Amino acid sequence: MMIAARSWLRLAPLTLLSTIASTSGAATNQIQFNRDIRPILSENCFACHGHDKNQRKAKLRLDVRDVALEKEAIVPGKPEASKLVEHIFSTDADEIMPPPKTHKTLTAAQKEMLKQWIVAGAEYEPNWAYIKPKRVAPPETKNSQWVRNPIDAFILHTLESKNIKPSAEAGKRTLLRRLSLDLIGLPPTPEEIKAFLADNSRTAYEKQVDRLLASPHFGERMASPWLDLVRFADTVGYHGDQNQNIFPYRDYVIASFNRNKPFDQFTVEQIAGDLLPNPSVEARVATGFNRLNMMTREGGAQPKEYLAKYAADRVRTVSMAWMGSTMGCCECHDHKFDPFTAKDFYQMEAFFADIKQWGVYQDYGYTPNPDLGGWSNDHPFPPEIEVDSPYLKSRIDRLEKLVTNIQAAAAQKLGRDKERKKAFDQWSRESREFLKVWPSGWATPTPEVTVKVKDTNSVAATNFSVLADSTLSFSDNPRESVKVSLPVSNMWLSAIRLEIVPQEVPEQKRTAMKKRNGTAFALSATLKSRNGKDRKLPFYFGEADHKAERYANGFAIIGVTSLWQISTQADRQTAVWLLDKPFHTQEGDVIEINLGNAAVTSARLSITPFPAADPLRSGMGPAIAAALSRSPKSSDLLSRTYLLTTAWDSDFHLQARKLQEEIRECRHGRSPTMVTVPQKPMVTRVLARGNWQDESGEIVDPAPPHFLPQLADPSTNRLTRLDLARWLISTENPLTARTVVNRFWKQFFGTGISAVVDDLGAQGEWPVHPELLDWLACEFMTPSFPRTNKGKSSSPQAWDVKHIVRLMVTSSAYRQVSNERPELKEIDPNNRLVAFQSPRRLEAEFVRDNALSIAGLLNEEIGGPSAHPYQPPGYYVNLQFPDRDYHAEKDERQYRRGVYAHWQRTFLQPMLANFDAPSREECVGNRIVSNTPQQALTLLNDPTFVEASRVFAANLLTSNFQSDEQRIDAAFARALSRAPKVKEKQSLLEFLKSQREYYTPNAGEAAKLIKTGIAPAPAAIKPPELAAWTQVCRVVLNLHETITRY
């Protein structure tokens, strides 16, 4: 689609460019500026003799050859005449460079290197990452057997040049576990291992790759690092850290990876989906990306200051995620090491100046935001749109099926029970009688009304009238409370209806009514029985056809049960409340309904015996009458209504209600989600030292960084986000493809080809395999290597993510064993040459997913609202505005994957935090991997892992195994995809024995252990046995190997 636009780029003059870099010729002994000289200068000299004009000493730049020559710091070919050489070799404390106070020193080898470089002519190269990547033909290798694709040619060529042999291919079990954990973040099942072992075809491995790339879990696994970059979270981050509605964006990311959306399209949709012609819902959801900066609604926050923070955050994120660049430095000053200037930073900011947003998302007296009038800490963060959620839709389907099933079961029960049949017949008779009087199903008896008036001195007591249709009409005076009494007959009372009916009232009064957007009903009802007893009739659920939305911590409150805030948009509106317990009334009873002091001009109250799951559909007179006149006993409608009305089957009643509540929580399968809405761009200025109060800076328009290829012939006067997105994915842009493939490489090989994946600039690292990185970058943008899928070759598309991933994981380099090689310690201490595969501890989410999957607990559903795993109580006690509760999921949602865990920016779930998941307050391109006692404590004691252990144990004990040995074999097969070694098995059997010895006499302790978590424990297994095996499984889930991908 948008790829056609690539031709409108031209190369800007590269001021830094004095020679064109040659990235070919691996392992040459010639001094190369980028590889050998730049790191020394950048580390030791550029801070004072570099880009930043404010820090520059003696007006000398060593990053620009012309200046260095002009100042005679460097005289090519003549080190003796070069001041640089003089200073670095000086022993005089006042002369020596770098100066002692910088605490930087050059080694003898570094000094010699600089000297030799000057001898050779002191040629410069622009930083490698700023030169367009060039596709170099894969080199020839001596061993052609090993080379499966060009990746291997590059890797092996370097290894051979150093006389290193690659490592052997890992065994099939290891390979499939590695592949599975890498591609879908889940371990292979024992059945999958078996199938792979049995497959002796030449393409057995490739078939597994294809299977896993096609798995819907691929998107979940790939989403995690992307969500770190875009700082995806469920809360806004600043101050009160309120919830934000954004999960559809997460699902968009997962779906995009699953559908192998080209990365260029993925880029355009996120940054500028709203600016595409007729943007799809999907593209609009994608623009949630621009809204993922932290936001505040703290009282006293200055909108301008926060707008500046939001803008800077976006520049940091875009430059990190797409350009592998640290533009953040330039908020205050020109970059000290790279050619980015402060002006570049603000020009980048200006691209996003059209995003509709608020500095402070609330309307305070001191910072008025009239368009957010009445907004509270519970409100969402606009603008939002409402979209379908496939997860919620399918959840509704499933729940509705359950309702149908339990209802059928209850109806059958009803048919079998003689007593109940009699009661049903009685109910049918009563219902016929009722419907004769009230055919609609709603009874609207003439009410008796008491009005308590606020100020009796000034207002007449008779400020209402009852009209012929039982409508109450009020004059417009303040009331303290209105009580309405309705006489009832022999009937089941199930629901109460309140209608606000427009009356023929003077225009003036109507306007007055419309103004009252605060008008709300907190309805309550009491049964006044004829024998003088009063009984409260609490409501279970109420809903209205029109209402003003109310919110609780970002979510619209479902229904109007405790409060109905009427809409100002509609004249006629209706609300219905279902009674908590249906109640059978008698002739002579009275229902008293308290309307409170709601200021409306008219109201009409009705009652019904016939409830429906959706309160507004209650009544159903004609349908029920029709059913009653046919054959009542076979009518679904009648049995359902009877069951709901009388609650004779209390199990069904409670279950049905719970299910209906869960269905309602799915919000009709829809969810709001934050999106980008364009508006007139704000003015963007260069802020001196980043000071938002300084209004003296130059006003800037959007533009890419000055030293990179520019957009040619932009379509409009002012560049847009769409231009930015197209600039990022242009084949002329040297950064994007390299940045992305370098991160993929890290994901599959442990370290990037350029190790500092979040900084490809001068302070980053000269890539160990520059030709390979460039080849991959080119292959990503314009593929030429055929893709093989299911044995058939096809041409990959441009920016084909799965193509690049497939190349990496099908390479021989990837398939090596992961054992370290002591003999390489000196040559390659960090395995950068990939002479073996690097082991990797699983990332936080996958540590959890892996344990749940091994245990057989994992919920494999895709997408949907974030879920709440167990969390230590009181963890949110320091959160306010609003105060926060945390309710861990009590059903299968407890076992959802980590990628769906509720991400509270200020208090990240402790299990995730302990395993180094970032809080996602700031863009993170490179997760830390640590190894701490907190991780040990988590795996040992977090209920998630204890519960997983006991369910794992129960599964081992209820499967068809003949012996403890077989169970241990099975545990290893599930957790580690391998058989235990003899001594491992012996050790565990010994351990099992000790645990049986403990738990057999301590059955009470055993019973406690097997109750951890919400999963039921099978009653068939004796608690001591289950507890002993739970302990064995705890050991297995805690093993280093279990949380490591080898």
Partner 1 sequence: MNDPFNFLAFQRSINRRTFLGRAAYGLGGLALASLLDPRLVRAAAAEENPPRWKGIINPPHFPVRAKRIIHLCMAGGPSHLESFDYKPELKRINGQPFPESFTKGQQLAQLQNTELKARGPFTEFRKHGNSGQEISDLFPHIAEIADDICIVRSMHTEQINHDPAHAFMNSGSIIKGRPSMGSWLLYGLGAETDNLPGFVVLTSAGKTGQQPVSARQWSNGFLPSRFQGVLFQSKGDPVHYVGNPDGVCQSTQRQIVEEINRLNGILAEDHLDPEIQTRISQYEMAFRMQTSVPELTDFAKEPQNILEMYGVKHPGDGSFASNCLLARRLAERGVRFIQLYHRAWDHHGEIEKGMTSAALDVDQASAALVQDLKQRGLLDDTLILWGGEFGRTPMGQGSGRDHHINAFSVWMAGGGVKPGLTWGSTDELGYRYVEDDQKMHVHDLHATMLYLCGIDHKRLVFRYQGRDFRLTDVTGDVAKGIVA
Restricted to residues 65-104, the positions that interact with partner 1 (CB under 8 A) are 103
Q: Which of 1007, 1014, 1021, 1022 binds partner 1 (CB under 8 A)?
A: 1007
User: Cα 713 vs. chain centroid, distance in angstroms?
Assistant: 37
Contact 612, 442 (CB under 8 A): no
Nearest to partner 1 of 554, 918 (CB atom): 918
Least separation in angstroms between CB 815 and partner 1: 17
Site for partner 1 in 673-732 (CB under 8 A): 693
Is there binding between residue 1005 and partner 1 (CB under 8 A)? Answer: yes
Which segment (20-28, 436-444, 584-592, 916-924) binds partner 1 by CB under 8 A?
A: 916-924
Is there binding between residue 922 and partner 1 (CB under 8 A)? Answer: yes
Query: What is the residue-wise DSSP string for 490-505?
Result: SEEEEEEEEEE---S-
Nearest to partner 1 of 459, 888 (CB atom): 888
Nearest to partner 1 of 407, 1031 (CB atom): 1031
Nearest to partner 1 of 44, 561 (CB atom): 44
Q: Which of 215, 831, 859, 1000 binds partner 1 (CB under 8 A)?
A: 831
Nearest to partner 1 of 290, 914 (CB atom): 914
Site for partner 1 in 526-565 (CB under 8 A): none
Residue 594 pairs in a beta bridge with 483, 524
Site for partner 1 in 98-157 (CB under 8 A): 103
Q: What are the two backbone dihedrals, phi and then psi, of residue 355, each rounded to the nearest 5 degrees? A: -75, 125
Alpha carbon separation from 6 to 356, 721, 727, 728 (Å, rounded): 28, 15, 8, 10
Q: How many CB atoms lie within 10 A of CB 31?
A: 18
Q: Which residues, 6 or more positions from 413, have their beta carbon under 8 angstroms from its beta carbon?
A: 420, 649
Least separation in angstroms between CB 866 and partner 1: 18
Q: Which of 326, 473, 606, 635 binds partner 1 (CB under 8 A)?
A: 326
Is there binding between residue 822 and partner 1 (CB under 8 A)? Answer: yes
Nearest to partner 1 of 308, 578 (CB atom): 308
Least separation in angstroms between CB 95 and partner 1: 22
Q: What are the two backbone dihedrals, phi and then psi, of residue 385, each rounded to the nearest 5 degrees? A: -125, 160
Is there binding between residue 748 and partner 1 (CB under 8 A)? Answer: no
What is the spatial distance between Cα 437 and Cα 39, in angstroms, rounded to a whole number? 92
Q: How many CB atoms lie within 10 A of CB 42?
A: 21
Least separation in angstroms between CB 318 and partner 1: 15
Q: Characterize 93-124 residue by residue with b for buried, 16 or more Cβ atoms within 10 angstroms of its Cβ, and e for exposed.
A: eeeebbeeeeeeebeeebeebbbebbbeebeb
- Per-residue contact track with partner 1, 354 to 373, x per CB under 8 A? ----------x-xx------
Site for partner 1 in 220-279 (CB under 8 A): 237-241
Nearest to partner 1 of 89, 886 (CB atom): 886
Helices H / strands E in the chain, number of each: 32, 25
Is there binding between residue 847 and partner 1 (CB under 8 A)? Answer: no
DSSP class of 669: G
Nearest to partner 1 of 393, 821 (CB atom): 821
Nearest to partner 1 of 2, 979 (CB atom): 979
What is the spatial distance between Cα 624 and Cα 543, in angstroms, rounded to a whole number? 22
Which segment (206-214, 217-225, 575-583, 871-879) binds partner 1 by CB under 8 A?
A: 871-879
Which segment (83-91, 496-504, 719-727, 756-764) binds partner 1 by CB under 8 A?
A: 756-764
Is there binding between residue 839 and partner 1 (CB under 8 A)? Answer: yes
Alpha carbon separation from 971 to 134, 951, 953, 968, 988 (Å, rounded): 50, 12, 9, 5, 11
Least separation in angstroms between CB 26 and partner 1: 20
Residue 873 pairs in a beta bridge with none
Q: How many CB atoms lie within 10 A of CB 1025?
A: 18
Alpha carbon separation from 395 to 246, 270, 280, 399 (Å, rounded): 19, 27, 24, 6
DSSP class of 552: E
Site for partner 1 in 963-982 (CB under 8 A): 981
Pull the structure tokens for residue 586. Answer: 């008698």
Nearest to partner 1 of 51, 640 (CB atom): 51
Nearest to partner 1 of 264, 759 (CB atom): 759
Least separation in angstroms between CB 982 and partner 1: 10
Least separation in angstroms between CB 239 and partner 1: 5
Burial class (CB in 10 A: 0-12, 13-18, 19+), 630: exposed
Is there binding between residue 907 and partner 1 (CB under 8 A)? Answer: yes
Q: What are the two backbone dihedrals, phi and then psi, of residue 583, each rounded to the nearest 5 degrees? A: -140, 135
Residue 386 pairs in a beta bridge with 672
Q: Of 812, 815, 832, nearest to 147 (Cα)?
A: 812
Least separation in angstroms between CB 910 and partner 1: 5
Which segment (264-272, 850-858, 859-867, 1004-1012) binds partner 1 by CB under 8 A?
A: 1004-1012
Which segment (125-133, 141-149, 593-601, 868-876) binds partner 1 by CB under 8 A?
A: 868-876
Is there binding between residue 901 and partner 1 (CB under 8 A)? Answer: no
What is the spatial distance between Cα 409 and Cα 249, in angstroms, rounded to a whole number? 40
Is there binding between residue 309 and partner 1 (CB under 8 A)? Answer: yes
Which segment (5-13, 163-171, 449-457, 906-914) binds partner 1 by CB under 8 A?
A: 906-914
Q: How many CB atoms lie within 10 A of CB 390?
A: 15
Is there binding between residue 299 and partner 1 (CB under 8 A)? Answer: yes
Identify the helix (H) or strand (E) that includes residue 1038. Answer: helix 1023-1038
Is there binding between residue 1008 and partner 1 (CB under 8 A)? Answer: yes
Q: What are the two backbone dihedrals, phi and then psi, of residue 787, each rounded to the nearest 5 degrees? A: -95, 135
Which segment (589-597, 639-647, 714-722, 1027-1035) binds partner 1 by CB under 8 A?
A: 1027-1035
Q: Which of 142, 202, 887, 983 binds partner 1 (CB under 8 A)?
A: 983
User: Cα 517 vs. chain centroid, distance in angstroms?
Assistant: 35
Query: What's the chain's Rg over C-alpha atoms?
Result: 35
Contact 864, 389 (CB under 8 A): yes
What is the spatial distance between Cα 837 and Cα 816, in angstroms, rounded to a whole number? 5
Tokens 């097969």 found at: 973
Burial class (CB in 10 A: 0-12, 13-18, 19+), 29: exposed
Which segment (63-71, 384-392, 725-733, 1002-1010) binds partner 1 by CB under 8 A?
A: 1002-1010
Nearest to partner 1 of 258, 904 (CB atom): 904
Contact 219, 257 (CB under 8 A): yes
DSSP class of 604: E
Pull the structure tokens for residue 130. Answer: 């700023």
Nearest to partner 1 of 549, 990 (CB atom): 990
Q: How many CB atoms lie within 10 A of CB 435?
A: 20
Q: Which of 185, 273, 328, 865 binds partner 1 (CB under 8 A)?
A: 328
Q: Which of 551, 875, 886, 961 binds partner 1 (CB under 8 A)?
A: 875
Is there binding between residue 872 and partner 1 (CB under 8 A)? Answer: yes
Which segment (163-171, 341-349, 573-581, 825-833) binds partner 1 by CB under 8 A?
A: 825-833
Is there binding between residue 631 and partner 1 (CB under 8 A)? Answer: no
Is there binding between residue 924 and partner 1 (CB under 8 A)? Answer: yes
Q: Which of 946, 948, 954, 957 binds partner 1 (CB under 8 A)?
A: 946
Which segment (60-68, 282-290, 959-967, 1037-1045) binds partner 1 by CB under 8 A?
A: 1037-1045
Is there binding between residue 206 and partner 1 (CB under 8 A)? Answer: no
What is the spatial distance between Cα 1 and Cα 744, in angstroms, rounded to a whole number? 25
Number of residues that bind partner 1 (CB under 8 A): 116
Pull the structure tokens for residue 995. Answer: 């645990």
